[in-house]
Chain A
Amino acid sequence: MSSENKKLRVLIGKLGLDGHDRGSKIIAKALRDAGMEVIYTGLRKTPQDITRIAIEEDVDIIGISLLSGAHETLLPELCQLLKENDAGDIAVVAGGIIPKDDIPVLKQAGVKAVFGPGDTTKKIIKYIKSIGTNE
């Protein structure tokens, strides 16, 4: 009977027309092995889909993988939809191929962190655990 039962629930999914899911699968498996419950949505979701799933599943964190270049449209839209639906407290974290120059805009839109090639799963797990427990 305490918060020690609290399990981190993380949604891992892909937004938009982007068929490359190896990265998101690697992250999902790493988070699973770190003791989290990973809700895996699969490919080609819209910001509306992700918002609804995040709310139904009551996740703590949303991890979105994007390699299509559409991050500047899709991620701010997702953050906005979450806010509109009383779910602005769910942290959005992005990964994939996102140019450094685009990161400030995304962060301003509400994306908490952006990871990319070269970031270890260890680093990502550590970060997710830190924002998960700060809630």
Chain B
Amino acid sequence: MNLSEKDQRDSSVLELVDKMLKGSVRALGKLITLIEDESPGSLEALKKIYYHTKDAYVIGVTGAPGTGKSTLVDRIAVEIKRQGFNVGIIAIDPSSPFTGGAFLGDRVRMMSTSNDNDIYIRSMGTRGSLGGLSEATASTVKVLDAFGKDFILIETAGTGQAEVDVIKETDTTVVVCVPGLGDEIQTMKAGVMEIGDIFVVNKADLQDADRLAGDIEAMLRMGYESKEWTPPIIKTIATEGTGVVALVEEILNHRGYLIRNGLLKNKKARRIKQEIMEIARNKIIDKISSNETNQLSDALLNEIMLRDKDPYTTAEKIIDNFAEVFQKTHL
């Protein structure tokens, strides 16, 4: 691609950013696609978008499949909007590890918000990420922020025990549990049960809802003496909207707590640091990958399989070669 082509491409992308900043939902949708596909120009777009972000508050909602996350997110969004805020939703569902395809069905449960012009919903596939989010989640949050959303809700793909990436991108994490999935031993496991700033016992009309709430509370009380924030446990029946007002109140309480104690600023600083490292890491990996294809010949792989060489030295060599090329091109 010659220079003028690149310039042309960048200027059309920046035009899209301008349209988005002026309130075009069409441009917003197209920009998110561009970023999700890592299409040419997406980085230029993000560079510009960053300066228009205003620290939207990010709420993560996570939990096992079928616990009612989509329905709950729908109700939370409506309640936050009722309080006068501008809300956006990112709803993540798994991509197939085999075909890359995805069935994004969260909208089916978002009956109130899906018909609401003011609440923007974007469905995303995980596209290979294993932590419950997709790689483009952080960038999508920025675009929605710049678009003017005050609150952004992220609904993770259904999580089991270990998918905790959501805490990296959110200010308040809500963990949704339902009765009937196990005894108190499950509440004591590390991972998802540790990341909740707020716990929700959804489907609270089911048998054993009180016992589950009790189990979670007992778990939280063990060793939480030193913490200033003790996660509240809210019982909800999302399909009926029961408990949602109380839940939003606790979300806003948590937000107040973070702000009062200077913790929100710390969170944001940590997030920016981690993001910069991730962007840099991905760029290096891209460069090594495009550099390495010719190095890893079938003959070389064969030598390694025959124990003439080992994978470790070979990897070191790739890095050495890369460093050499990098020095020539960048320094």
Contacts and interface: CB of A to CB of B under 8 A. Distances in A.
A2 B1 CA distance: 12
Contact of A53 (B32, B107, B125, B286): B107
A36 B40 contact: no
B101 A56 contact: no
B289 to A, nearest CB: 11
A32 B114 contact: no
Q: Is chain A's interface secondary structure helix, strand, loop, or mixed overall?
A: mixed
A52 B120 CA distance: 9
Nearest to A41: B107
Contacts of A40: 103-105, 107-108
Interface residues of A, number: 31
Interface in A27-59: 28-29, 31-42, 49, 52-53, 55-58
Given A55-B25, A55-B26, A32 B39 contact: no
Contacts, number: 88
B107 A42 contact: yes
B238 interface: no
Contact of A5 (B30, B38, B99): B38
B101 A38 contact: yes
Interface in A48-82: 49, 52-53, 55-58
Residue of B33, B101, B122 most packed against chain A (CB within 10 A): B101
Contacts of A53: 107, 114, 121
Interface of B: 24-26, 28-30, 32-33, 36-40, 95-96, 99-105, 107-108, 114-115, 117, 120-123, 125, 127, 286
